[in-house]
Amino acid sequence: TVSDRPDLQHAVARASTTSTSATIGSLPPARRLWWRVEAISWGGKRANAGGPGELATSPLAALPGIVFLSDMQWAKAAAGAGNPVRRDVNYYGKTISIAGKAYPKGLWTHAFNDATPADVVIDLPEKKYAAFRADAGVDDRSGGGSLQFQVLVDGVVKAQSPVLRPREVQRIRVDVTGAKQLTLRVLDGGDGFSSDHAAWGLARLV
């Protein structure tokens, strides 16, 4: 078990094996984590001696020509159901996941219970970026939900998804050449905002 808490009450990854070693992939980057090994046999369970171990994962390597929105300063951001917009993790502090695919970078937000848009607004330096790209969908750990995603460039809608439900993903590509402002918008899917956990996977400027 690997957790982001020393009491191990919140697991970010688990693995089991019948050998003396195990490999866990897809740990969240740039995080302080704790781990425990637990052996199970006919005699019961026993954890490793000395309490939980500790480790730190490396940050993701920078990609030339790409800036992730979760690493940028936003002009403003609003999310529904009393939530903040979260950087690189979902509501539960785990890696964002859409339709079974994990996204180590991205934004998590939540729809409002009315027509209020859940917006993340980013001011863009002139002539620096050519495109915005992301995979949008309902986070896999939402337990349900339905959402619509929009991308606005200088206040004009340039991309819009259909209403998306769990296990559906919309690949978004928008030209932002010469733009001054980018807005990522999430709207309620029309059936209430329960479980409307919205994810912008790998939201980035190129």
pLDDT tens for residues 100-138? 898 989 999 999 998 899 999 999 987 789 999 999 999
Task: Give 78's DSSP letter.
Answer: -
Q: Which residues of 170-195 are buried (b: 16+ CB within 10 A; e: fewer)?
A: bebebebeebeebbbbbbbbeeebeb
Q: Is the pLDDT of residue 63 over 80?
A: no
Residue 14 pLDDT class (50, 70, 90 cuts): confident
**Pick from 93, 83, 88: nearest CA to 11:** 93
Instruction: Give the position of tokens 């369970």.
Output: 45
Owner of token pair 């030339």:
64
CB atoms within 10 A of CB 164: 21
What average pLDDT score do residues 26-30 get? Answer: 77
- pLDDT over 90 (residue 21): no
The pLDDT of residue 94 is above 90: no
pLDDT-based confidence at residue 183 (cuts at 50, 70, 90): very high
Distance (Å, whole) CA 139 – CA 150: 16
Specify the pLDDT at position 196. 94
Q: Where do we find the tokens 């928008």? A: 174
Query: What pLDDT, on a 0 to 100 scale, did the predictor assign at position 8?
Result: 86
Is 145's pLDDT higher than 80? yes
Question: Residue 202: how many CB atoms within 10 A of its CB?
Answer: 19
The secondary structure of residue 172, as a DSSP letter, is: E
Question: 61 pLDDT exceeds 80?
Answer: no
Question: Alpha carbon 157 to chain centroid distance?
Answer: 23
* Predicted confidence (pLDDT) at residue 26 exceeds the cutoff of 80: no
- Are the C-beta atoms of 145 and 197 separated by less than 8 Å? yes
